[in-house]
Amino acid sequence: MEIKLRSRYEGGVFDDGLSELYDGTTSLIGFCRVIAISIHMLANEEVIHRATALKGAKLYRRAAKKGSFVDEIIIVLDNPVVANIGYSVAAAAVYDFIKYSLNKAMGKNVAPETPYVKRMCKRIEPTVDRFEDSLRGPLIDMHRPIRNNSDVYINIERPKGPIVRMDLETLAYLSKDRRESLVLEPCNVTKFNILTGYGKIYLDREERVVSFNTNSNIDQDEKFKITKSMDDAFNDKGGKILIDGVAILDEVGRVKSVTINSVT
């Protein structure tokens, strides 16, 4: 099954039929990586960080049309992947998942629409933070022409129209993170995957749940404390712990995610 997806560049020098070579090439490579990582997740429910690790599909680039800056990618899903999703709904699932995952990674509140993607998002919830992390670098690369010319914007389109828009606002979300040290910060663990080191905590100062990952130096005793906090919270036994680490803040100072370096 072939599924068409386009990236359309408009504004600035693109309206004159030109592209700064390095910026345009970097953005195209970012587009390739974003789609490869997303399609692999859709096909295998597994996080990858390299486009060359894609399994279950092949990506092709169609020759650009004269006079426009539209890059068209042909996604060819392997037959077993199509059979698993459902032949009649596979294309809709691809567009829906790309729309949902890319917008979410850029801070936009977009919910999945198709039944398959809704069910899949529930299954991959334990790894969704790692998945968003894997998209961050390629998305920043896609924004390179916008970084150097504020008049430029990029649309990712299906044949019926755009599903993702990139502009100064999405660039700001991806690139204006600030970091803040956390010392003896009180929290409760609500979810934790001991294999990946990713999870979610209720951070007292934010009065809401945020994502976290653990530093590679976290020892088994500290992992036990994290797991016990989750179990105690589930069983209404409190489960408060104190963490040291680093918080990543968005442009208005809200905590987006936390890296835990130690647990008390």
Write down the domain spans for the chain: 2-175, 178-263
Residue-level pLDDT, tens digit, the chain, 264 residues? 899 999 999 999 998 888 899 999 999 999 999 999 999 999 999 999 889 999 999 999 987 766 568 889 999 999 999 999 999 999 999 999 999 999 999 989 899 999 999 999 999 887 887 898 889 889 999 999 999 899 999 999 999 999 999 999 999 888 776 788 999 999 999 999 988 899 999 999 888 999 999 998 899 999 999 999 999 988 888 899 999 999 988 766 778 899 999 999
Residues 135, 38: contact at Cβ < 8 Å? yes
Q: Report yes or no on whether pTM surpasses 0.95.
A: no
What is the per-residue pLDDT for 68? 65
Check residue 65 and report its DSSP letter: P
At residue 136, the pLDDT reads 87
Q: Which two tokens stand for residue 26?
A: 């970097």
Extended strands (E) in the chain: 2-10, 57-62, 70-77, 153-158, 161-166, 178-193, 198-203, 208-214, 241-249, 255-263
DSSP letter for 63, please.
P
Strand partners for 182: 245
Rounded CA-CA distance 117/39 in Å is 12
Question: Domain 178-263 adopts which CATH fold?
Answer: OB fold (Dihydrolipoamide Acetyltransferase, E2P) (2.40.50)
**What pLDDT, on a 0 to 100 scale, did the predictor assign at position 62?**
86
Extract the tokens encoding 83: 């059979």
User: Quick one: CA dihedral 233, 239, 240, 244, positive or negative?
Assistant: negative
